[in-house]
Amino acid sequence: MEKTDSQDRICGAVLASALGDAFGAPYEGGKVERLLWLVLGRRRGRRCWTDDTQMSVDVMESLLACKRIDQKDLAHRFAHSYRWTRGYGPGAGKLLKRIRRGEPWQIANRAVYPNGSFGNGGAMRAAPIGLFYGAGRERRLVRAVREATVVTHAHPAGQDGAVIIALTTALACLDYSVQEIFKRLRLHIQTVDVQNRLTVAERLLHADHPVLPKQVASELGNGIRAKDSCVTAFSVGLALREAPFSHLLTYIRKVGGDTDTIGAMAGAIWGAACGYRQLPEEFLQQLEQRQYLEELAHRFADAIVQGHL
């Protein structure tokens, strides 16, 4: 792959993920969450992004500063970026406040749920780790994803979800086939629930008819748990990677449920496959802090492509 092509795909993954988050957020959750987002979801006329993008930004800034996964640095950044107005998961909010008060992440990550969180909050921020390590360092990539995820999500299902999103984003950058992606993922997924979801997704991705969003939601899930949204996002991102970005957003809105997070994760996969140049300008113009996100994405992409990390 040419340098410019890699940079375009890395920037595409970062920006498409932020757009998926910001455009999905108004449809996330129930009535109360939607009403709240009507109040919180616009800043200076732009669409705000949520915890999904904030934590992805934290991951990229940490990787740029530390040049590897540094769990202490990540915990510090996650905790200090935390603002309830970004719509964090209930357990994640409590955990991050504990870290901010000085509790080590190794204790805080089991303080809310003794078996660790199996929410999708580790997966929603995992794509930059896939971009950073790349498909050529697959074992290292998977180890890094688990190290980054366990800081807040100690449950293996939360980590499996993150592995799916990070590895698929890396493989999509190199145009791997759907068949090969399934093969690679199966080598790394540890939990039966997530493996079973992959089996269903494989059937849907090879169906000889278009699969409707409602069917995706009922067979793969659309909820806040990793097992109910990561394979969904993976499946939608791959299935629509040859469709315009606007179709992806419309489809995800129809899948419903955790739309900002499914948007962020599917967006990363779509962006890695299609690149920044395929993103519609009219959507980018509506994105909060567009300039900062683009500048960060370029710095991140330059560092990866030039091998300065």
Which one of the spans 27-35, 77-85, 237-245, 299-307 is the region binding ligand F2R (CB under 6 A)? 27-35
**What span, in angstroms and rounded, lies between the C-alpha atoms of 287 and 184?**
34
Beta carbon of residue 123, minimum distance to ligand F2R (angstroms, whole number): 8
Is 302 strand, coil or helix?
helix
Which one of the spans 77-85, 116-124, 135-143, 233-241 is the region binding ligand F2R (CB under 6 A)? 116-124
Q: Residue 184's closest CA among 220, 134, 138, 145?
A: 138
**Size of site (CB under 6 A) for ligand F2R:** 27
Q: How far is CA 194 from the centre of its chain?
A: 16
Q: What residues have CB less than 8 Å from 145, skipping those under 6 apart? A: 126, 129, 130, 159, 162, 163, 166, 167
By the rule CB under 6 A, 92 interacts with ligand F2R: yes
By the rule CB under 6 A, 33 interacts with ligand F2R: yes
Beta carbon of residue 194, minimum distance to Mg ion (angstroms, whole number): 18
**CA R_g for the chain:** 17
Binding to ligand F2R (CB under 6 A): which residues in 141-180?
Answer: 155
Beta carbon of residue 187, minimum distance to ligand F2R (angstroms, whole number): 25
Which one of the spans 58-66, 87-95, 141-149, 204-212 is the region binding ligand F2R (CB under 6 A)? 87-95
* Binding-residue pattern over the window 35 to 74 for ligand F2R, x denoting contact by CB under 6 A: ---------------xxx----------------------
Q: What ranges in 25-126 are assigned the alpha helix state H?
A: 31-40, 51-66, 71-81, 90-100, 105-108
Burial degree of 76 (CB within 10 A; 0-12, 13-18, 19+)? middle
Q: What residues have CB less than 8 Å from 182, skipping those under 6 apart? A: 198, 202
Alpha-carbon distances, residue 233 vs 41, 216, 225 (angstroms): 22, 10, 12
Q: Residue 128's closest CA among 308, 294, 304, 306?
A: 304
By the rule CB under 6 A, 221 interacts with ligand F2R: no
By the rule CB under 6 A, 126 interacts with ligand F2R: no
By the rule CB under 6 A, 193 interacts with ligand F2R: no
Closer to Mg ion by CB, 232 or 261: give it. Answer: 261
Binding to ligand F2R (CB under 6 A): which residues in 261-280?
Answer: 261
Q: Which residues bind ligand F2R (CB under 6 A)?
A: 28-30, 33, 50-52, 87-92, 113, 115, 117-121, 124, 155, 224-225, 258, 260-261
